[in-house]
Amino acid sequence: MKKLILGALTAAAVGLAGLPAKAETFVTVLTGGSTGVYYPLGVALSKVYADYVPEVRTSVQSTKASVENLNLLQRGRGEVGFALGDSVSGAWNAEEDAGFPQKLDKLRAIAAIYPNYIQIVARADSGITSLADLKGKRISVGAPKSGTELNARKIFAAAGMSYKDFAKTEYLSFGESVELMKNRQLDATLLSAGLGVSAIRDLASTTAITIVEVPKETVAAINDPVFIPTTVPAGSYDGVTKDVPTVAIRNILVTRSDLPDDLIYQMTKSMFDHRADLLSAHSAAQGITLQEATSGLPLPLHPGAEKFYREAGILK
């Protein structure tokens, strides 16, 4: 009898050993430059996925942000990406001027997340205190056709300005822009990022700065519901002693339509269940709320995310 039992156990063990192991799912999170907000939040989000979503292995890719992330997702070269709402709208509606000659039809939303603040930062000694003061100055507007640069075009156009009004227009990343400002080679830069972005904190720690106002009338002239008036609060950076009116654009966490519903359900759930982990990475995560997650989306939700919001009572 003992021999029979041992034989049966051995046969069962051999049979189990012959079964293929469950394959891991690889999730690449597409972010932005290391001095922005997308990157630290993307690192924290990838850790949440790795820790709380079964059978997932994650990686983080630093990119040129919104436009590149959306194109990479369309080509299947990433599973999750951060992007500005107006860039997502441009991708879904095939806006060629925004860098999307064809509709990126594989994109789906996971959540509307925190807002990006347009932060036009000038050296205090440049004398720039208004949008009009930027005329004849040296300014960086973000990497070419990045989400930041697309924002810059719309805001300056709404103010009756164009790049031709500047003495010099540079198309640089946040970090590169700040270095040139420190060296007095630039007078100002426009950054589209969450509050407390490290590039501006770095600049303000060594150089007196001014945050340039974007008036409500200019925001209204953009004539796009994605752009909303807001303020950069006093104390956001060294030397910023009063609230400064500006404009914000909500960011969207985007994925692909061909990814399994259960995977995206688990990823969406884990992000909100462990939001505190994102807050520990960057204060901008305060703007990630379940109540606003489905608001103002310019493209469809992924069915996996939709299932989570229905269970959470956000969607009926």
Q: pLDDT (tens digit, 9 = 90+) per residue, 266-307?
A: 999 999 999 999 999 999 999 999 999 999 899 999 999 999
* DSSP 8-class letter at 291: G
Return the SS3 of 113: strand
Question: What are the tokens at 94?
Answer: 């095939």
Question: What are the tokens at 278?
Answer: 């994102």
Are 60 and 42 a contacting pair, CB within 8 Å?
Answer: yes
Q: Is residue 23 scored above 80 in pLDDT?
A: no
DSSP code per residue over 6-52? HHHHHHHHHHHHTSPPPPPEEEEEE---TTSSHHHHHHHHHHHHHHH
Under CATH, which number does the domain 116-249 receive?
3.40.190.10
Who wins on pLDDT, 7 or 207? 207
Residue 225, pLDDT score: 78
Return the SS3 of 304: helix
Are 271 and 41 a contacting pair, CB within 8 Å?
Answer: no
Residue 36, pLDDT score: 87
Q: How far apart are the first and last CA of the chain?
A: 61
* CA separation for the pair 119, 212 (Å, rounded): 7
Domain assignments of the chain as residue spans, ordered by start = 25-114+250-311, 116-249
Domains 25-114+250-311 and 116-249 share a fold: yes
* CA separation for the pair 89, 278 (Å, rounded): 25
* CA separation for the pair 250, 261 (Å, rounded): 24
Residue 3, pLDDT score: 52
Q: How far is CA 303 from the centre of its chain?
A: 21
Domain 25-114+250-311 falls under CATH 3.40.80.10? no
Q: Is residue 1 scored above 70 in pLDDT?
A: no
Give mean pLDDT, residues 237-255.
96
Give mean pLDDT, residues 259-271.
98
Q: Is residue 16 scored above 50 in pLDDT?
A: no
Instruction: Report the predicted TM-score, pTM, of the whole model to 2 decimal places.
Output: 0.82
Q: Is residue 262 scored above 90 in pLDDT?
A: yes
